[in-house]
Chains A and B, each alone.
Chain A
Amino acid sequence: MRATRTGWGLLAPTLIILGFVGIVPFLYVIYIGFFDWDIFAAKVGMVFAGVNNYRRLVFDSEYLAALGRTLQFMIWVVVSELILGFVLAQLLTRNFWGRSVFRTIHALPLVVAPIAVGATWRLFTIPGFGPLPYYLDKWFGIEYSISRYAGHAFTTIVLMDIWHWTPFVTLTLVAGLTSLPKEPFEQALVDGANRWQVFRYLTLPLLTPVLVTTTFIRIMDALRVVDEVWMLTGGGPGTSTRFVGLHIWLVVFPKTAYGYGAAMSLLTLYFTIVLSWLLFIAITQSGRQTAS
């Protein structure tokens, strides 16, 4: 190993930026989480509350419900996007006429701002003014209202997220697939392996790092989603699409409960980390089995 000074030197700018703009605010959030800080409370200012915020969170039914909904959402969305993205990535590695056109179209949702995605889908699905409910009613007699029925709202949000983020999965998997070394595959064909065996014992394991990265990113982002959901349903009908990211946003901004919001964020982060850790173990375990 070469002079570690060069190593630290290369790493330094990154560390400085992340330290100042990332870690310092993070520490401040941890600090605030131990206080009662409601901007418009009768007792002004920050009042030390120890772990009271966290204790309240454990019994906060709204928060727990939001977590539950978000988990549901996340599972639906990540599984769908992984499967769809993988299939599409496979298709994209083959060469066919019009491939780059399709690839560009497919990646289009990624370059639309989440707030615009929410706004567009809202205009598309709003009862009374939008085409989707109108034509569903006119052609199929189905009453579709995202502001009335929780199920409709949830399904629409899942679809919207799949629409928006599958290209992300596709692109990263394409990068992964194209970076795979060729010899193992050539060797496998020579050895007479069929498509399924190649997939199961070669592609999947070799692709695992990229798959894991992509899955984790999607999980983290799904657990953090705010703008799109806010634009589309505001968390409604009722609170049926109030996911935890949106819930925290509502607690911090309009409700101006800074201390409680900080604690909530940290607790949510903790859950996210635990979840990711469990998944990581699960994947590497199964990976170990496959390798043998």
Chain B
Amino acid sequence: MKARLLTILGLIVVLSMLFTLSGSALAAQPPQQEGEDWWAKAAEPFKGVTIRGVSESTPPSKYAAEVLAPAFEKATGIKVEFETTSWDQMYDKEIKDMEAGTGVYDFVYIEQDIVYAYLDRKFLVNITQMMKDKPELVWPGYNPNAFTSFVDYFKDPATGDLYGVPMEAFIKVYLYRKDLFEDPEIKAAFEKEYGYPLAPAVNHKQYADIAAFFTKWGKDHNMELWGTTVQANTGHPSSFYEMFETILPSFGVYNWGINMDNWKATVANGGTMNSDRAKEAFAFWVGMLKYAPPEATASTWDEVAATFAAGRAAQGWVYGENAAWIATDETRSKVVGKVGVALPPLYAGVLEDKVLRNKGYIGYYDGGAYGIPHSSKNKEAALLWLQWIARPDFQVDWAIKAARVTETATFDDPRLKEFDKKVDGYFTLLKEKGFLFAGAPPFPFHATIREVIAPFIYKGITGEMSTADALDQAAAAVDAELVRLGYGK
């Protein structure tokens, strides 16, 4: 018995030694660039320094950690230590670090929805100012106008100064099964039943019709197919996010229904969170559950993507970063080549509001940037790193590997255009219609209020409360909490 155990132990040791040898081959090589001497010279005083950053372990960050960071170290001698962790851990640690001023991190991932909180607490270094003060650290090739409009989210609204360099951006789009929508038999059956041709839904009624149709079709033909995905996890904020960031805006209820003049959410006090329109939206969305597969109530963005990739849904609202691999990666998706991309279905007047009157938005613009904490001990080295990841020559490869675009020039690259065809024009959509979408509203209390609202959303989904009651109570709770936090009276 002992001998056997020792043999197993020995095997483990030998195997791990073998893997040491095979380790390095898997790192990809970054593209070749010129003008490296500027970097080496600028980094001279910081040679040998290690900067540490925290980020989520998503493909864009992984690319930065595995490809861009080693190249940076080679060019400058500054080592980049990347801590990749889960979504909630990342937030918690960077907040703790900046709150306590402990200087653990030199760059942090700023998700678009938390940037206002960070700006409010002055957690981040003013990059524009720092560049003015230390021109010797500004790369000649750095162009602040190279970014897409997404960069505006990381600027102080009052001064226009930049606090974060965008590193990923996506829009949450409407995905549909192109192959099913173009199938002649299906088209005929749909038109026969509903009286209009089958096409990606432009409003919620059409969406509901299509969802009902495909659920029935799936049942009648004994397929594992349902009409829609719903990100309705009954215990995870992802359901709150789909409801408040995707569905409500599509119904014309913006900024979570919170009135930003007096910080109230209830209709009685001037908000719109429990307005009739919002209730209609919530009822619609919960109503879609009957056309969704059973995992809908357990679905975060994760399972929604998995559901669509497994071919279990005919349409759905899916985050851009997932849309790309669903459409192209055969090791993960069963519907490669069958994915269609379109703008989400909208309530009458919402699109006109945005296009003609620049009011509101139609959906969610997701993404994040890297910023420098005020407590960092190596701000200069970090600044060099941030400019490194903004290098135009790195953007296309990064876009193809991780489906993110943060600089406008990337859209015109022929390689990206080629890739765009495979994702049914997602990047074209991002380029041309991206301005219709918006990130999270400028709430410093984003996470806190989300936690207040979420339990009511969960209960509305399970039916423990009616959807109307859920919104009423959520809005009242928000009013109370905002007062307690010092916003409004």
Contact = CB atoms under 8 A, between A and B. Distances in A.
B487 interface: yes
A38 B447 CA distance: 11
Given A38-B485, A39-B99, A250 B447 contact: no
Interface stretch (A161-169, A236-244, A279-287): A236-244
A105 interface: no
Interface string B456-489: 0011011010000000000000000000011100
B235 A237 contact: yes
B295 interface: yes
Contacts of B296: 128
A278 interface: no
Where chain B touches its partner, the secondary structure class is helix
Nearest to B306: A129
Given A128-B293, A238-B464, A40 B298 contact: no
A126 B295 CA distance: 7
Nearest to B307: A128
B312 A147 contact: no
Interface residues of A, number: 34
Contacts of B307: 128
Interface residues of B, number: 40
A255 interface: yes
Contacts, number: 112
A142 to B, nearest CB: 13
B462 A150 contact: yes
B487 to A, nearest CB: 5
Contacts of A40: 117, 120-121, 444-448, 485
Given A146-B298, A235-B235, A256 B462 contact: no
Contacts of B266: none
Given A234-B235, A238-B458, A238-B464, A42 B487 contact: yes
B295 A238 contact: no
A145 interface: yes
B376 interface: no
Contacts of B236: 234, 236
A39 B121 contact: yes
B294 A128 contact: yes
B233 A255 contact: no
Given A40-B121, A129-B306, A256-B448, A241 B294 contact: no
A255 B447 contact: yes
A254 B450 contact: yes
A62 interface: yes
B455 interface: yes
Nearest to A122: B298
B447 A62 contact: no
Contacts of A129: 295, 303, 306
Given A127-B294, A128-B294, A257-B448, A43 B459 contact: no
Contacts of B486: 41-43
Contacts of A127: 294-295, 297-298
B295 A254 contact: no
A261 to B, nearest CB: 12
Contact of B298 (A126, A242, A251): A126
A236 B461 CA distance: 11
Given A126-B298, A145-B297, A256 B234 contact: no
B121 A236 contact: no
B237 interface: yes
Contacts of B306: 129
Contact of A254 (B233, B237, B297, B455): B237
Nearest to A241: B235
Interface in B434-450: 444-448, 450
B261 interface: no
Contacts of B185: none
Contacts of B461: 237-238
A87 B461 CA distance: 42
Contacts of B120: 40
A55 to B, nearest CB: 13
A245 interface: no
A133 interface: yes
A237 B455 contact: no
B451 interface: yes
Nearest to A143: B294
Nearest to A253: B92
Contacts of B459: 238-239
Interface string B292-329: 01111110000100110000100000000000000000
A255 B293 CA distance: 31
A254 B294 CA distance: 28
Contacts of B293: 128
Contacts of A250: 451
Given A39-B121, A62-B455, A150-B462, A236 B485 contact: no
A147 B455 contact: no
Interface in A206-242: 233-239, 241-242
Interface in A30-61: 38-44
B95 interface: yes
Given A234-B236, A236-B235, A239-B455, 12 more contacts: A126-B298, A127-B294, A127-B295, A147-B295, A236-B234, A236-B462, A237-B234, A237-B461, A238-B458, A242-B455, A250-B451, A255-B451
Interface of B: 88, 91-92, 95, 99, 117, 120-121, 233-237, 293-298, 303, 306-307, 312, 444-448, 450-452, 455, 458-459, 461-462, 464, 485-487
16 contacts: A39-B121, A40-B121, A41-B486, A42-B487, A129-B306, A148-B234, A233-B235, A234-B234, A236-B458, A237-B297, A237-B458, A238-B235, A238-B455, A238-B458, A256-B447, A256-B448
Closest 7 CB pairs of A and B: A236-B235, A128-B295, A234-B235, A42-B486, A147-B298, A236-B234, A237-B234
